[in-house]
Structure 1
Amino acid sequence: MDIVLVTTVIASLFLVIGAAEPIAARLRLPYSVILAVLGVLIGVGALFFLRTELTDALNPVAEAILGLPIRSNVFLYVFLPTLLFQATLGMNLRRMLDDWVPILVLAVVAVVVATLSVGYALAWASGLPLVACLLIGAIVSTTDPSAVVTIFRSISAPRRLARIIEGESLLNDAAAIALFGLFAGFVMLGVPDPSLLEALAQFPLLIVGGVLTGWLAARVAIWIMALFVRHPLAQISISAALPYLAYIVAEQSIGASGVIAVVAAGLTLNLIGPGRLPPQAWAYLRDVWDLLAHWAGALIFILAALLIPRLLEEVRLEDFVLLGVVILAAIAARAVILFGLLPLLTLMKASPPVERPYRIAILWGGLRGAVTLALALAVTESFRVPSDIQRVVGILATGFTLFTLIVQGTTLRWIIGRLGLDRLSPLDEALSRQVVAVALQTVREDVARTTENYELSHDTVRAEAKRFGERLDAAVKAAEDSVDILDRDRITLGLIALAGHERDAILARVRERTISARMAEQVLSDADRLIEGARSQGRSGYQRAARRSVAYGSAFRAALLLHTRLGLSRPLARLTADRFELLLSQRLILRDVEDFIDGRIRRIHGRRVAELLQELLARRTEAVATALEGLRLQYPGYAEELERRFIRRTALRLEEREYSAMREDGLIGAEVHTALIQTLDARRAAAERRPRLDIALRRAELVAQFPLFADLDEAALKRLGRALRPRYVNAGEPIIRRDSVVRSVYFIASGAVELETANQSWRLGRGEMFGQLAILMKRARRAEVRAIAPTTLLVLDEARFRRLLARSAALRAAVRASAVKRGIDPEALISDAMAAE
């Protein structure tokens, strides 16, 4: 085939891709529907001109179009890895974990149910073998929810809903292709009725092999990319090789699922990459992959659509009956999951609720696309599949795809309109009025400064100011006098605005590198939770999200268990260092948003709402300070090391800004500026490295580090080490309850505790003790002691403590100091203890 002609055809397809998006926006149809229609028209036109006798001038073009190397392996090995890999890079994985139950239900359970439903319904309605029917079910079970995501975003639907659909679109391809591989193998081997348990038993092996392959490939790629920190183009090139190598190795060498390998590789890079690569390089890499995925998605759709006329050439009347069976079975299976299983899981508190209108939109938005056509094409190309099965697979898969695109795709927006999802709620309308009022206030101030600087005509300025002031007054009145908005909704609006501003402040700090790339995604996830919590549940949702941002999660508790039971300290050290940096970042951001309440929210929502928001913000600040203080007491020097690192990074940012200003002013040339920036980058790479946190201490080492035992000899220290019992306490867990009888003395090896009485409270950290006064005074403890950080305690019983007190002058001095602090006569206390001993 002439390379010039093929190049011309491919370039023309890019013109079609460029024109499809504005056409879809103009017609208010999903982009994928327009691509499919254009592809079918091109395919029909090529067949028409090739077979008609009207003219032969266009025959070479028609032959080039029909002769394009469109094979299933092109879709599966070239386009599909690109789409899956980019989807994983663009997802907020930490937020997706909040909805992992509905995502997995839709992506895995729904695929399996649809495969079985379609397969058994076809086996009942046709004379095909069961395995062939199950193969068809696997082919048509994978959905393409991109149209739904696009429409939901265009109507500002909750991000959580879009996240569920994106998660489904990412994982259901993997599940469907894995099932497709299983049943295609049975068809090629001639097994008419495979054991369902035998088929599903191979499913975990495909998944585990794919996950391990993708994870290992991504870790190797990240290690190599980290070596090329100053070469972003090299990093992007390595990322371009990653999904294809992972796919090929999994499929060809291991026999696992290549799709799952690509997904695992993308998820690993998404989680680890931002902490290992510079922020600009990571942003550049994602931009490049966004463009590649846009082209790949459009090409896979339009090329697959070119095949539709040929796949439907042998259609028969009875095929329409089977197509109706496939449509009904597939929709019914999806409806059972959405309206049966998901509500049941919600009632069981196993899944967050998904509103009924959204479930209807998801049901009708289950469009099939290029992956379904590619899998059908793979069956029609295989010489090991009987010809009658090839024909039925091609016709039913193509017909079902056309039905979802033409019928469901074109009516999806109408369905969404009927459900009321395209209209703003009263709360959102009120929010839009607040946004307009705040924006116009800022614009008025900026315009006033601009007119003053340019010394414009006074009469003109007065006339325009009056006109603009009238519009501003109307906007402010509409915002303040909304009679249909309750006070609690005004508070909700203020919280949404506050959380939104917090997110903007985080992005600004990330761009200027005040917050490290390692922490950027997590603090942004916390801000998103604040926004969604305020939207869905108002003040209580905002406070719940705020508490969660400083709480110790399940991962931290698991790392603590590994440390205490197995002696594996590295996971706990990494998570503790992350928590240090996260809390410092949160403290920085909370100080940034304080002025926003007085500067913006007070002018729109009034003094009472502003004061309430100030109170909520003060509680968050106090919670962050408490958590940070607990870590400071636990690891006294580490917080200072992080703060020094923050100061160094801030100084480097300001230094870079000065160099850029000098370059723009012509004070230095491009060569000098480049040399200075290169030197600065080397210093920045050193400043980005986080100091090491060592928490792996043995009991003997812990005892030796206590200043209280400094005067004991080595033999006494060994005896004491054997007598002390370690106890591990999680944050928030009580150690001694008020009015309880104390039988032991507690020495803080690591962590921090808070002692609280009716009148006061104070905190103790590493190297300090508590419980000694209650034992020596022989009365119940009046203070309650609670851990404010994960804490390691060394516990000594009363008898051994009294003997130790008699031998250690340092310990007696510490007891005296604690007694003086609490207004107790230390000498009488010590003498009584010595006499008793």
Structure 2
Amino acid sequence: MDIVLITATIASLFVIIGVAEPLSERARLPYTVILALLGILIAVAASFFLRTELTDALNPVAETILALPIRSNVFLYVFLPTLLFQATLGMNLRRMMDDWVPILVLAVVAVFVATLSVGYALSWVSTLPLAACLLIGAIVSTTDPSAVVSIFRSISAPRRLSRIIEGESLLNDAAAIALFGLFMGFVMIGVPNPELGTAARQFPILIAGGALTGWLAARVGLWIMASFSVHELAVISISIALPYLAYIGAEQLVGASGVIAVVAAGLTLNLAGPGRLPPQAWINLREVWDLLAHWAGALIFILAALLIPRLLEGARPGDFILIGVVVIAAIAARAVILFGLLPLLSFLRLSPVVERPYRTAILWGGLRGAVTLALALAVTESIRVPIEVKRLVGILATGFTLFTLMAQGSTLRWIIARLGLDRLSPIDEAMARQVVAVALQTVREDVARTTEAYDLTHDVVRTEAKSFGERLERAVKAAEESDDILDRDRITLGLIALAGFERDRILQKVREGTISASMAEQILLEADRLLEAARSGGRSGYQRVARRSVAYGRAMRLAVAIHTRFGISAPLVRMTADRFEKLLSQQLILRDLDVFIDNRIRRIHGRRVAELLHDMTARRIEMVETGLDGLRLQYPGYAEELERRFIRRTAWRMEEREYISMREDGLIGAEVFTTLTQDIARRRAEAKERPSLDISLKRLELVRQFPLFADLDDRALRRLNRALKFRYVSPDDIIVRKENTMKNVYFIASGAVELESAGQTWRLGRGEMFGQVAILIKNARRAQVRAIAPTTLLVLDIVRFRALLDRSRALQNAVRESAEKRGIDPDRLLDDVQVPAQA
């Protein structure tokens, strides 16, 4: 085959890809439907010119088109991994987890039901063996990701509807291809009636093996990419290799599902990539994959459509009856799942409710495409499959694919419109009217300033101002009619906007380098949780997640228990350092929220909502600062190191911004600019590692380091060490309650506590003590003491404390200072204490 003709043909396909998108917009048809129609027309035209005697000039082109090496493995090994991987990178996984039950039901159960429904329906009306009928059922049971994703993203469908059907199309390929492989084996060895239990037993192994392979491949790939993170092109190149190696490794080495391996690899990279890779590298990686998936999705449809005339050759009138049987059986099976099983699961509270209009759209949106044609092509290529089976598989799969693309795909937009799914909810419509009014008011002010600045023609200004003013009046009137929005809904919408702004600020700070990439994943996860909680639970949901974001979780408490019982400190060190940096990052972001509330939310939702959001933000800031105070008291030196790190990062970003501004103004040349920015990059790389945190506690050394025991000799220290008891308390644990009598004095070895008495609050940190006042003063006001950080205490009973106080001037001075801080006369505490002789 002439390389020139091949190159020209491929280049022409890209021209068709470029033309198809504006053509689909003009024709108001889905992009994939236009691509399929163009592919069919090209194949028919090539066959016509090759057979006609009108001209021979186009014969070489026609021969090249018809001789393109389109094989099933090209679709499965070249195009499918690209489409699956890109789709998983672009998914909002946390939102999709809200609907994981209906997604899995559609992706797994629906595939089995559709396979059985189509298989047994065909076996009743045809002479094909049951194994061949079930093989056809497996081929047509999978929805195509390239068809579904592109169509649902191009129409005004609700995001939840799009997420459900996109999640289904990504995962059901694994089930369908697994069943296809099983029944294909039965057909090739001539087993007419296969045992269905074998398929059910093999399926979990295929899924688990593929998921493990994909996760492992992604972790290794991510480790390599993070090692080369300063080389952006290297990072992107490794990401391109990742899905193909995961697919081939799962299929050829493990014997598991390559589709699930690719999906697992994409999900892993989606979750961990933003925190391990530089922000700009991650953005560029996503853009490259978007472009690759656009090309792959378009090429897969054009090339698959080129096969349609070939697969339909030899069709007989009776075959169209069988195509109708396949269509009816497949749609009926899907309807049973959507209108039978899903409502039952919702009634049993095993699944979130999927509304009837959504289920109707999902039923009609189950499009087939290149994957179905690729599996059918694999059957026709096999020399071990009977000829009649190959003929019917090609015809039935192709006919069913054409029906879903042409009948369902071309009417899906109309169906969604008829169901009312393309319209905003009443609250969103009212909000849209208010947003338009606020935006137009701002625009009018900006336009007025522009006309004054440029001294524009007054007649033109008056004409345009009149037109604009009329539009603004209409918008304001429409907004005034939106007063039926409840305050509760306004608060919810304001919180959603606030959480979205918080997420954007986090991404901006990560791009600027102020927040480290390693911390980005954690705080972005918290921001996403806030956003989802505001959407689902409104004000209470937002506050619940905000409290949880600064609380000590189960993992932290487990790390504390491991450290306390077994002396293994590595998990606690890492989690404590992460918590320190996360709280500092949250404090940095929360300071910016008040400006957004005043500048944006107040103008749309009013003063009352803005004031409420200010109060909620203030409470969040207070919770974060409380957590930070506890850690600062516990590890003062480490807090200073982290804060210096933040300041350095901010200063480097400002310095880099100045160099960029000077370069744009022409004050410095490219060579100087490159040298200066490389120097900043070098400093950032050197300071990339977080300072180390030492939480190890050696008992006797710890006692020696207490300033309170500084004047004790070695013998007294050893005796005191034996008398002291260690006690570890978790954050928010109550150490002393007001109603309890004080029986011990507590010395803070590490951590921080909050002491509350008579309406006053004090915070104490490492090296300080509490409990001495209640012991030394009769009828003293009782206090409640609560830990505000993981805290290690040295506990001394009353008798030993009094004996120690009698012989330690340092301890007496400490008691005197603590009394003065709390407004108590020190002499009342020390009136019966012996003063030790001066050394």
Amino acid at match of 2:225: M
Q: Which amino acid aligns with 1:614?
A: H
d(CA) in 1 for partners of 2:568 and 2:105? 34
Distance 1:213 1:603, change over 3 A: closer
Question: Is the 2:158–2:422 Cα contact (8 Å) retained in structure 1?
Answer: no
Letter of the aligned partner of 1:379 in structure 2? V
One-letter code aligned to 2:449? R
For 1:282-333, what per-residue CA distance to the aligned partner results, in whole angstroms no more than 9, with x for missing partners? 2112111111111011111221121122222244455445444443443344
Report the Cα distance in structure 2 between the residues aligned to 1:808 and 1:257, rounded to whole angstroms.
Answer: 75
1:1-12 matches, cutoff 5 A: 1-12=1-12
Cα offset for 1:501?
A: 3.6
Q: Equivalents in 2 of 1:633, 1:340: separation in Å?
A: 59
Q: How far apart, in 1, do the equivalents of 2:111 and 2:715 lie?
A: 67
Please tell me the residue identity of whatever aligns with 1:651. Answer: A
Figure out how many residues of one structure are paired with residues of the other and give that number: 832
TM-score by length of 1: 0.87
Cα separation, partners in 2 of 1:254 and 1:502, compared to 1, 3 Å: closer
User: What residue in structure 2 maps to residue 307 of structure 1?
Assistant: 307
* Contact 1:221/1:239, CA 8 A, preserved across alignment: yes
Could you tell me which residue of structure 2 aligns to residue 371 of structure 1? 371
Equivalence for 2:254 = 254
Paired residues of 2:272 and 2:521 also in contact (CA < 8 A) = no
Q: Write out per-residue CA displacement over residues 557-579 of structure 1, whole angstroms, 9 at most, x where no aligned residue.
A: 66666666776654554444343
Once residues 125 and 780 of structure 1 are traced to their aligned partners in structure 2, the CA distance between those partners, rounded to angstroms, is 94
Q: Is the 8 A contact 2:776 2:829 kept in 1?
A: yes
Q: What are the superposed Cα offsets for residues 540-569 of structure 1, whole Å, 9 maximum, x if unpaired? A: 344344345445556656666666677665
Query: Who is 2:760 aligned against?
Result: 760
- Matched to 2:107, the amino acid is A
CA contact (8 A) 2:756 2:783 kept: yes
Q: Which moved more, 1:613-622 or 1:337-346?
A: 337-346
Show the counterpart of 2:174.
174
Quickly say closer, same or farther: Cα 1:257–1:569, change in 2 above 3 A.
Answer: farther
Q: Equivalent residue for 1:673?
A: 673
Residues of 1 paired with 2:655 and 2:436: CA distance?
38
Question: Quick one: which amino acid aligns to residue 498 of structure 1?
Answer: L
Measured in 1, the distance between the counterparts of 2:160 and 2:453 equals 46
1:19 aligns with 2:26: no
Shift in Å, 1:79? 1.0
Say which SS state the counterpart of residue 623 (structure 1) adopts: helix
Could you tell me which residue of structure 2 aligns to residue 514 of structure 1?
514
User: Which residues of 2 match residues 545-584 of structure 1 at below 5 A?
Assistant: 545-552=545-552, 569-584=569-584
Is 2:219–2:268's contact at 8 Å kept on the other side of the alignment?
A: yes
Paired position in structure 2 for 1:618? 618
Counterparts of 1:187-202 in structure 2, within 5 Å, are: 187-202=187-202
1:38, CA displacement in angstroms?
A: 2.1
Give ranges in structure 1 of 5+ residues lacking alignment: none
Unaligned ranges ≥5, structure 2: 835-839
Q: Cα–Cα, structure 1 residues 812 and 649, in superposed 2: closer, same or farther, change >3 Å?
A: same
Deviating more after overlay: 578-587 vs 672-681: 578-587
CA distance in 2, matches of 1:416, 1:12: 34
Map 1:777-792 onto structure 2 (within 5 A). Answer: 783-789=783-789, 791-792=790-791
Aligned to 2:416: 416
Q: Which residue of 1 aligns with 2:661?
A: 661
CA distance in structure 2 between the partners assigned to 1:195 and 1:393 by the alignment: 21
Shift of 1:643: 2.3
Cα distance in 1 between the residues matched to 2:735 and 2:772: 14
**Stretch deviating more after TM superposition (100-109 or 609-618):** 100-109
The yes-or-no answer on 1:272 pairing with 2:272 is yes
Paired with 1:745 and 1:363, the residues of 2 have a C-alpha distance of: 70
Aligned residues of 1:367 and 1:408 also touching (Cα < 8 A) = yes
> C-alpha deviations, 1:187-227, integer Å up to 9, x for none?
44555555544433333433343334333433333333334
Q: How does 1:232-631 map to 2 (within 5 A)?
A: 232-317=232-317, 319-346=319-346, 350-457=350-457, 461=461, 464-465=464-465, 468-552=468-552, 569-631=569-631
Give the counterpart letter for 1:264 in structure 2. Answer: A
Q: Is the 8 A contact 1:92 1:525 kept in 2?
A: no
Q: Partner amino acid for 2:640? A: E
Greater Cα offset, 272-281 or 366-375: 272-281
Provide the C-alpha distance between the structure 1 equivalents of 2:640 and 2:629, rounded to a whole number of angstroms: 12
Hey, what's the Cα distance between the residues in 2 that align with 1:506 and 1:415? Answer: 39
Task: Tell me whether 732-741 or 277-286 shows the greater mean CA deviation.
Answer: 732-741
Displacement of 1:14 in angstroms is 1.4
Deviation at 1:776, TM superposition (A): 7.6
SS in structure 1 opposite 2:591? helix
| Aligned 1:39-118 pairs, distance under 5 A | 39-118=39-118
Q: Which amino acid aligns with 1:489?
A: D
User: Which amino acid counterpart does residue 585 of structure 2 have in structure 1?
Assistant: S
* 2:672 paired with 1:685: no
Q: 1:202 to 1:27 in 2, by over 3 A?
A: same
C-alpha separation in 1, matches of 2:799 and 2:116: 69
Structure 1 residues 34 and 829, CA, compared in 2 at 3 Å: closer, same or farther?
A: same
Bigger shift: 524-533 or 683-692? 524-533
Q: CA RMSD in A?
A: 3.9
Q: Distance in 2 between matches of 1:98 and 1:718?
A: 59
Q: CA deviation at 1:634?
A: 4.1
| Separation in structure 2 between the aligned mates of residue 709 and residue 103 of structure 1, nearest angstrom | 64
Instruction: Check whether the contact 1:140–1:368 (CA below 8 A) recurs between aligned residues.
Output: yes
Cα 1:434–1:634, aligned 2, differ >3 Å: closer, same or farther?
farther
Letter of the 1:643 counterpart: E
1:448 to partner: Cα distance: 3.4
Offset at residue 656 of structure 1 (A): 1.6
**Mean Cα deviation higher: 220-229 or 29-38:** 220-229
The answer as to whether partners of 2:114 and 2:137 remain within 8 angstroms in 1 is yes
**CA contact 1:739–1:780 (8 Å) conserved in 2:** no
* Separation in 1, partners of 2:330, 2:758: 65
Cα distance in 1, alignment partners of residues 400 and 166 from structure 2: 22
Q: Deviations over 1:126-184 (max 9, x none)?
A: 55555444433333332235666556556665544444443333333334334433443
Instruction: Give the TM-score normalised by structure 2.
Output: 0.87
Identity level (%): 75
Residue 143 of structure 1 corresponds to: 143
Contact 1:503 1:528 in 2 (8 A): yes
| 8 A contact 2:161–2:362 mirrored in 1 | no
- Give secondary structure in 2 for the equivalent of 1:637: helix
CA distance in 2, matches of 1:109, 1:728: 49
1-side partners of 2:733 and 2:116: how far apart?
49
- Quote the Cα distance in structure 1 between the aligned partners of 2:342 and 2:682: 52
Q: Which moved more, 1:139-148 or 1:674-683?
A: 139-148
Matches within 5 A, 1:765-780: 765-766=765-766
- Deviations 1:693-737 (CA, angstroms, capped at 9, x unpaired): 4556677777776666665859966995897465463x5555555
CA-to-aligned-CA distance 1:497-529 (integer Å, 9 cap, x gap): 434443443444344333333444554454455
Amino acid at match of 1:21: E
- SS of the equivalent of 1:368 reads coil
CA distance change for structure 1 residues 40 and 574 in 2, over 3 Å: closer, same or farther?
Answer: farther
Query: 2: CA distance between counterparts of 1:741 and 1:329?
Result: 77
Cα 1:83–1:735 change in 2 (3 A) is farther
* Structure 1 residues 59 and 623: alpha-carbon distance in aligned structure 2, compared to 1, 3 A threshold: same
C-alpha contact 1:699 1:721 (8 A) present in aligned 2: no
Please give the secondary structure, in 2, of the residue aligned with 1:482: coil
Distance of 2:750 and 2:126 partners within structure 1: 70
Q: Which moved more, 1:120-129 or 1:216-225?
A: 120-129
Shift in alpha-carbon separation, 1:720–1:268, aligned structure 2, 3 A: farther
2:750/2:793 contact within 8 Å kept: no
Contact 2:806 2:833 survives alignment (8 Å): no
Contact 2:30 2:409 (C-alpha < 8 Å) held by counterparts? yes
